[in-house]
Amino acid sequence: MADFLPLGEWVDAGVKRLIEIDPGALQQLGAGVERLTEGLEILLLAAPIWLIAGGFVAIGLWRVGWKFALFCVACWVLIAGTGFWPQTMVTMALILAATLLSLAIGLPLGLWVARSDRVAAIVRPALDFMQTMPAFVYLIPAAMLFGLGRVPGVLATVIFAMPPVVRLTSLGIRQVNREQVEAAISFGCTPAQVLFKVEIPAALPSIMAGINQTIMMALSMVIIASMVGAGGLGNDVLASIQRLDIGLGFESGLAVVLLAIMLDRITETFGASGPRRSLRQRLGLSARGGDQP
């Protein structure tokens, strides 16, 4: 049966046309993303295990508590012990690159959406589209436009992971108490001062929740992105599926889960509002306020 709406053909033609008329901008974009991701990957792979793992444990101790710090130690022992250290670092580099790009675009876009109802009306359905379109689908045009490798993986991840930070930044800024903003203006704040001294600090819990969500979505997407050759833990997951290798699947999957838990628990504490607990309380030395790892 012939479709009377050959939408797929049009999109296909559109992407092909884009490749034809592109004067090199796509290549430059691709090269930039490649440099960023590769640089991060080299850095993480070159760093000694104790530095990276120790860093996680230290931040876990500082932000969450001693029980969580112990949990981090266990995670890294498992990851390194099963031999997935290099792949985990590659995945981390992909997550970092995708998250940095998502934030670089998403934070200003979120601010703009908060400021203008018209922009919000355009951006909101676009975000819905980006989030609900099955993640694999992005990989196809990304691979066509940028070839196989890290670049399509990272860019597809950016599209998939950016919506939460845009949404929650916009939500946070819109929810800032109107009288607080009026107070700032009445004391002679310039628009930039209102933004940095009042709106962003007040919206920070919401913005941080958005960043946390973006990181988590980036993690899930970079695994899928191994299908276009992004590399990292996703390669092992993919290989285990192709070979029906239960052991490999479990080990690589577990590394993903552990990495996800560590990243989530640490980044979510940066958005937590309410009184900060003292270091003594986090170390479990104080009688008041127990730990909840």
Partner 1 sequence: MAPKVVVRSLFKVFGKRPALALELLTQGKSKDQVFAQTGMVVGVRDANFSVNEGEIFVLMGLSGSGKSTLIRLLNRLVEPTSGQVLVGGQDVASMGKKALVALRRKDMAMVFQSFALLPHRSVLDNTAFGLEVSGMGRVARERRAMQVLEQVGLTSFARKMPAELSGGMQQRVGLARALAVGPSLMLMDEAFSALDPLTRTEMQELLLQLQKEQRRTIVFVSHDLDEAFRIGSRIAIMEGGRIVQVGTPDEILRNPSHSYVRAFFKGVDVNQYLVARDVADLSAFPLIQAGPGDASSPAELLARLRLSGWPQAFVVDAQQRWLGTVTPQSLQNACSAGTPSLHHALLAEPPAVAAALGMQALVGRALTSTLPLPVVDGAGIYLGAVTHKSLLQRFARSQADHG
Q: Of 224, 218, 23, 214, which Cα lies nearest the Cα of 143?
A: 224
Question: Distance between CA atoms of 29 and 22, rounded to whole angstroms?
Answer: 11
Q: What x-and-dash track marks residues 32-61 binding partner 1 by CB under 8 A?
A: ------------------------------
- Residue 2: strand, helix, or coil: coil
State the Cα–Cα distance between residues 264 and 268, nearest whole angstrom: 6
- Cβ proximity to partner 1: between 6 and 201 the closer is 201
Compute the residue count for the chain.
293
Smallest distance, partner 1 to C-beta of residue 190, A = 6
Token digits for 217? 């979505």
Minimum CB–partner distance for residue 18 and partner 1 (Å): 40
Are the beta carbons of 177 and 131 closer than 8 angstroms? no
Judged by CB, which is closer to partner 1: 117, or 179?
Answer: 179
- Ramachandran region, residue 144 (left: φ > 0; alpha: ψ -120 to 50; beta: rest): alpha
**Choice between 20 and 179, CB closer to partner 1:** 179
User: 134 or 275: whose CB is closer to partner 1?
Assistant: 275
Nearer to partner 1, 134 or 188 (CB): 188
Three-state SS for 167-228 is: HHHHHHHHCCCHHHHHHHHHCCCCHHHHHHHHHHHHHHHHHHHHHHHHHHHHHHHHHHHHHH
In the complex, least distance from residue 172 CB atom to partner 1, rounded to whole angstroms: 13
Nearer to partner 1, 183 or 257 (CB): 183
Sequence-ordered alpha helix ranges (H) in 22-84: 25-46, 49-63, 66-81
Residues in 162-221 that interact with partner 1 by CB under 8 A: 177, 179-180, 182-190, 193, 197-198, 201-202, 204
The CB-of-59 to partner 1 minimum distance in angstroms stands at: 22
Rg of the chain on CA atoms, in Å:
22
Closer to partner 1 by CB, 50 or 187: give it. 187
Q: What are phi and psi of 258, to 5 degrees?
A: -65, -40
Closest approach, Cβ 208 to partner 1, in A, equals 13
Residue placing its CB nearer to partner 1 in the complex, 22 or 182: 182
| Residue 172 near residue 204, CB atoms below 8 Å | yes
Q: d(Cα 37, Cα 90) in Å, to the nearest integer?
A: 9
Nearest approach in angstroms of CB 199 to partner 1 is 10
**Position 272: which residue type?**
A
CB 201 → partner 1: shortest distance, Å? Answer: 5
Kindly identify the residues of this chain, within the stretch 256-275, that bind partner 1 according to CB under 8 A.
275
- Count of residues of this chain found to bind partner 1 when the rule CB under 8 A is applied: 19
Least separation, in Å, of the C-beta of 165 and partner 1? 20
Q: Which residues bind partner 1 (CB under 8 A)?
A: 177, 179-180, 182-190, 193, 197-198, 201-202, 204, 275
